[in-house]
Amino acid sequence: MNANGEGIEHFGYVDGRSQPLFLVEDIHTEKTETDGISVWDPTAPLNQVLVPDHAAPDPEVHFGSYFVFRKLEQNVRRFKQSEETLADQLGLVGEDRERAGAMIVGRFEDGTPLTAQREEGAESPVPNNFDYGSDAAGAKCPFQAHIRKTNPRGSGGAEEPPRERLHLMARRGVPYGERADDPNADLPPSARPSGGVGLLFMAFNSVLGNQFEFTQAIWANNPGFPIPPDGAKPPGLDPVIGQGPRPESVYPTEWAGTRTVTADPIPQAVTLKGGDYFFMPSLAFLRGLGGKG
């Protein structure tokens, strides 16, 4: 957790914030918190995560979900070093050096989205009512940033926004591993763990091929996505989870500025250790098992 009580993953960033929402109370809470106009609507239909459970007594009313489980090791030392290297290559100084990591993830460590102007201190709850409409050139949040790759919020350029939304899944990440260092302390990269810690990535889907697999293969691993404006260089791989050879990527040197620098690829700091797909059955199916015992 960070000082605001928000859950953070091992690289130090608030995680699990942006989710498709299904329940009226969750949607209501989110809308109340973002008073004013809704730029990003997190609402999704239940069939984005639920499918009929054919092993349950009544598949018409009993649903399950296709569940992805992946153990992703995080080399925190390497990631933190690459934030410093990127800040150096862009010539960022002082507080603005934090923007290097934010451009890798798409949010600052406290969860503030890069598209929003950063004000004093973190907002609580962490904002999620934003899109990339004010950032068509990638001058605030680079196209390759992890959250812009994995949810372009209607700006990917390859599909109409309603179709693009169908790739979203419900994520539930749990950090694993013990750390000797304090993740919230200001320490040099050399004090960070280089192995033994990571994220148990979990996600619920109704169509694995169109959600988790699509996000990883067609978005994160695809150097040409999101489709940049005419004449601009392809974004490159997702610097957090992209798999495969990593080309160079372009970053703005100032927030919303026009000068850019082509920086070295961010070295891979996330390694798949194992995982599988499962079918998460309905509660009715599980209750049935109990009855037979």
Helical segments of 10-139, H only: 24-33, 76-90, 98-105
| Closer residue to ligand HEM, CB minimum distance, 108 or 285 | 108
Candidates 52-60, 80-88, 208-216, 280-288; binding stretch for ligand HEM (CB under 6 A): 208-216
Pairwise CA distance, residues 60 & 57, whole Å: 9
> For residues 150-169, which are near ligand HEM according to CB under 6 A?
150-151
Candidates 54-62, 96-104, 147-155, 279-287; binding stretch for ligand HEM (CB under 6 A): 147-155
Q: Considering the rule CB under 6 A, would residue 82 count as an interface residue with ligand HEM?
A: no
**Among the listed residues 121, 110, 79, 114, the one whose alpha carbon sits nearest the alpha carbon of residue 99:** 114
Q: Provide the CA 10 distance to its chain's centre, in angstroms.
A: 13
Using DSSP, state whether 149 is helix, strand or coil.
helix
Cβ atoms of 62 and 282 within 8 Å: the answer is yes
Element (H, E) at 291: helix 283-292
**244 in the Ramachandran plot: left (φ > 0), alpha (ψ -120 to 50) or beta?**
left
Q: Considering the rule CB under 6 A, would residue 107 count as an interface residue with ligand HEM?
A: yes
**9, 30, 135, 164: which one contacts ligand HEM (CB under 6 A)?**
9
Tokens of 242: 């992209």
Candidates 11-19, 48-56, 189-197, 257-265; binding stretch for ligand HEM (CB under 6 A): 11-19
Question: Which residues are 251's β-sheet partners?
Answer: 261
| Closer residue to ligand HEM, CB minimum distance, 16 or 223 | 16
Q: Considering the rule CB under 6 A, would residue 17 count as an interface residue with ligand HEM?
A: yes
Pairwise CA distance, residues 9 & 14, whole Å: 7
**21, 87, 100, 147: which one contacts ligand HEM (CB under 6 A)?**
147
| Closer residue to ligand HEM, CB minimum distance, 174 or 283 | 174
Q: How far is the CB of 58 from ligand HEM (least distance, A)?
A: 32
Q: Considering the rule CB under 6 A, would residue 199 count as an interface residue with ligand HEM?
A: yes
| Closer residue to ligand HEM, CB minimum distance, 207 or 261 | 207
**104, 237, 270, 280: which one contacts ligand HEM (CB under 6 A)?**
270
Q: Considering the rule CB under 6 A, would residue 112 count as an interface residue with ligand HEM?
A: no
**48, 205, 206, 215: which one contacts ligand HEM (CB under 6 A)?**
215
Tokens of 228: 């940049």
Candidates 26-34, 49-57, 209-217, 274-282; binding stretch for ligand HEM (CB under 6 A): 209-217
Candidates 28-36, 146-154, 188-196, 255-263; binding stretch for ligand HEM (CB under 6 A): 146-154
Pairwise CA distance, residues 226 & 155, whole Å: 8
| Closer residue to ligand HEM, CB minimum distance, 90 or 240 | 240
Q: Considering the rule CB under 6 A, would residue 11 count as an interface residue with ligand HEM?
A: yes
Pairwise CA distance, residues 105 & 40, whole Å: 18
Tokens of 38: 């809704």
Q: Interface residues with ligand HEM (CB under 6 A)?
A: 9, 11, 13-18, 72, 74, 105, 107, 146-147, 150-151, 171, 199, 201, 212, 215-216, 220, 240-241, 270
